[in-house]
Structure 1
Amino acid sequence: MNVRTTTLSNGMTVVTETMQHLESAVLGVWVRSGSRNENPDEHGIAHLLEHMAFKGTRRRTARQIAEEIENVGGEVNAATSTETTSYHARVLKDDVPLAIDILADILTSSTFDAGELEREKNVILQEIGAANDTPDDVVFDRFAEAAYRDQTIGRPILGTPTTVKSFTPDQLRGYLKCHYTGDRIVVVAAGAVDHDQFVKMVEDAFGDMIAPTNAALPELTEARYTGGEYREMRDLMDAQVLIGFEGRAYQARDFYASQVLANILGGGMSSRLFQEVREKRGLCYSVYAFHWGFSDTGMFGIHAATGQEDLGSLMPVIFDELSKVADHVDVSEINRSRAQTRAALLMSQESPSARASQIARQMLLFGRPVSNAELMERLDAITPDRLTDLAGRLFFETPLTVSAVGPVTPLMDGDTMKAALSGSRRMQTAAE
């Protein structure tokens, strides 16, 4: 692993992976601050700030930012998540200095012009409206809200029309000053880049970003998984349904085991849910399992999209599969999941975008790059007994979360689901 790390005097961490065979590089700035870090009156400000960063600086207009990067054939983008915000660019190797200059400019010299702010608020209001018109967006947003009731970790990243309309340029400046400090930032580059040269460019561009004591930062409340239920009747052709349980945090012992369990249950066409629910019974056109990790919690979920007439038959079949995986996991299933993970890791080595994002996540979560060999060692330690024990604890000892949107009248309520799931477990145990 050709990864090098340097910490600057202002607290920023700079990491590179040189990929000699490439003519391009992906570089970005990852900030340990996302929607979860917002105060109650700041809901949506992290996402709005990400948008406003491209709307003009003291040196460049919004149009000049776009034109300068595209004049050299590059691209620039950004994203806000629950716990991080990222700004990244892809350029040819000779244009890395330009990309660094633009990223530093938008993060240290944005003007937050009032006129631009009002226009961008309108854009985000349209984005919120579009998300509310998209059932598979709504079902996931409400899923998180039900799982983490009345907590910032469960709120939609976009904010609400009321909060978005309320923000001022001074609020944006205050949030930026409070959260975008050197000790909370990782700058990563992968591809055709020289580490020492890149460090010098970052140091020159971001030298004014000082790491303060962070005394003004709001205290991050530990996540508390509650479970809960949300359902919304809509006149649609299909129903979007999510059921979930408390998962594992990134640092937890069972994090990677949870990822493997999700893969075995519903991670591909050979997975149990896909084969039993879709292929054998034809009860839905889409079904999969997933595991989300956060810094101090996680969520294990199953998503299905199906017609109203199949809802009544769908859930008992899913519950049976959850009971079965808590009873038995075959070594061949674990080996298949390991092979899929190994292939994904090796394929990511061929993509500078994938590597930059992967390294940034590892630095923010673990404080160091994690080698593929170390990841595979962790996967190799996973046994069938460990997975069945984990499944039993996940599915039968944590509160259930249910989210459903569409023609969901035939869907049993959360308490009935929990009872049906427990009954399925008892039947499976009795059959042993």
Structure 2
Amino acid sequence: MITEQLLGEGSSVYRSVLPSGIRVISETMPGLESETVGIWVDSGSRDEAPTAAGSTHFLEHMLFKGTPQRSARRIAEEFDRTGGESNAVTAKEYTCYFSRCLVDDVDHITALLWDMVLHSTLDAREFERERGVILEELAMSADDPGEVLYDAFDEFVYAGHPLGRPVGARKEQIRALDHRTLLDHYAHDYVGPRLVFAAAGGAEHSAVVEMVARATADLPELSSAPGAGLRPVRTPPEFHGGVHTVVKDTEQQGIILGMPGLPEADDERFTMTVLYSLLGGGMSSRLFQEIREERGLAYSVHCIASTHADSGQFGIYAGTSPASAQQVIDLCAAELDRLATTVPGRDEVEAIVSQVAGSTVLGLESSAARMNRLARAELYGRPLQTPSELIDRVRAVTPEQVTALAERLAAGPRALVTCGPGAGFELPG
């Protein structure tokens, strides 16, 4: 087993690689009586073959349905007894099973999570029952205009690419998914080299490693299965601009004005954080003040951003009346273009930097936030930095850098996607 200390001498962040290839990364937060732990699978919906669409999310559901040692009911009861919280999430590039519990319960919860992840029975009858549950989940999403808008945006700008598919796939794809496809997915992806265990809280790293090693002792050593579990090559997507409208009987017109953004580990992400907050990150942001406070055209207007290993998106979301939608679209584009052509004042940027620095520190007081940070850094190869280093990077952002990044964003292809009763909207010239 290889263990290294991260973040320099004296830090409490360590990374170990077990013989099975499982990576264990944890941070000790002195004085904390709780722990957040998660098993992260380096596989998401974009890694599915077209015939396996929806299998990643389906598998996430199935892992709560029982193992040879635990029934589905027993799994639920063991999570509930700790008094903490537990859940799972499927994303486009990873899957995560996580729990927050008392430090005294970490060993038990760790064993429970690994039993689910490594020993799921994936019973065929449970598979058919859960198919109905997932179809109901998709139906619920289809009734949510926000979900429809965001899915439509991805599908439009990444047309023909796996990143354009909804994480949960379409109803017809779930109906067509067979049990054997799920079993093959599980056998290929849920193996040592594609698994990361991340933890943050009161537990020491050595204790966390012992728990994981004990819970995964039956896994073969990596050398006995060369090449097993390696991620398939991901093809970067092409971003498609243009206009797309989803007509839906709603009170508001949902709007996303978007363009290519930054990949997860891009070094300009600190500048992006400042730009995001300045343009549409809070009540004092330009978009909020212009569109909501001064004109009363929308209740909600803000920036959005998503990042992937090889690409990203940046955009502006607003919800408004169909009659005001084109005006709001024009105003959003104008604010972005103004930032791209006119360097903001130093006082404005310094105020945003202070806001971002404060939110960074407050956010990292959560063990869940730290656990997520460790895992994402490991999955995306992003260097870890201390909270003080993160704040220094943000404080180093200059007004000129903000405008340069805004200019780069504004110069890319733009996509306008709307959802609501209106139609005929146009991208500002």
TM-score with structure 2 length normalisation? 0.92
Q: Tell me if 1:148 matches 2:158.
A: yes
> Structure 1 residues 75 and 315 mapped into 2: Cα distance closer, same or farther (>3 Å)?
closer
Could you tell me which residue of structure 2 aligns to residue 391 of structure 1? 406
Corresponding residue for 2:284?
A: 270
**Counterpart check, 1:18 vs 2:28:** yes
Partner SS for 1:320: helix
> Per-residue CA shift, 1:243-301, capped at 9, x if unaligned?
10100112323222222211111000000000001000111111001221111111011
Question: How far 1:198 sits from its partner (Å)?
Answer: 1.2
Does the CA contact (< 8 Å) of 1:56 and 1:65 recur in 2? yes
Question: Aligned pair 1:402/2:416, yes or no?
Answer: yes
- How far is the alpha carbon of 1:134 from its aligned partner? 0.8
Q: Which residue matches 2:343? A: 328
Unaligned stretches of 5+ in structure 1?
Answer: 420-432
- After TM superposition, the structure 1 = structure 2 runs for residues 156-167 of structure 1, keeping only pairs within 5 Å, are 156-167=166-177
- Whether 2:326 is the aligned partner of 1:337: answer no
Deviations 1:150-200 (CA, angstroms, capped at 9, x unpaired): 100121001111221223333222112212222222111111212111101
Tell me how far 1:215 sits from its aligned partner: 7.3
Alpha-carbon distance change, 116 to 143 in structure 1, aligned in 2, over 3 angstroms: same
**5+ long unaligned stretches in structure 2:** 1-10
Q: What number of residue pairs does the alignment pair up? A: 414
Q: CA RMSD in A?
A: 1.7
Partner SS for 1:325: helix
Amino acid at match of 1:124: I
Structure 1 position 372 matched with structure 2 position 387? yes
| Corresponding letter in the other structure for 2:335 | E
1:310 paired residue number: 324
Please give the alpha-carbon distance, in whole angstroms, between the structure 1 residues aligned to 2:267 and 2:333.
26
Identity of aligned residues (%): 36
Assess if the C-alpha contact under 8 Å between 1:263 and 1:290 holds in 2.
Answer: no
Tell whether 2:106 aligns with 1:96: yes
Q: TM-score normalised to the size of structure 1?
A: 0.91
Distance in structure 2 (CA, Å) of the matches to 1:318 and 1:215? 44
| Partner residue in 2 for 1:249 | 263
Q: Could you tell me how far apart the structure 2 residues matched to 1:407 and 1:209 are?
A: 54
Q: CA deviation at 1:217?
A: 5.2
* Correspondence for 1:429: none
Aligned to 2:54: 44
CA deviations on 1:217-246 (whole Å, 9 max, x unpaired) are 543212222234321222221110111010
Alpha-carbon distance, 1:20 to partner: 2.4
CA distance in 1 between partners of 2:419 and 2:45 (Å): 24
Please tell me whether the aligned partners of residues 39 and 218 of structure 1 are also in contact (alpha carbons under 8 angstroms): no
Q: Could you say which residue in structure 1 is the equivalent of 2:239? A: 225
What is the aligned partner in structure 1 of residue 299 from structure 2? 285
- Per-residue deviation, residues 90-144 of structure 1 (Å, max 9, x unmatched): 1111111110111111111101111111111111101111111111110001111
Asked if the contact 1:146/1:402 (under 8 Å) is kept, the reply is no
**Any conservation in 2 of the 1:331–1:384 contact (CA below 8 Å)?**
yes
Provide, for residues 308-357 of structure 1, a one-character-per-residue CA deviation record: whole Å limited to 9, x for no partner. Answer: 22123222222221121112222223223322222222223321111111
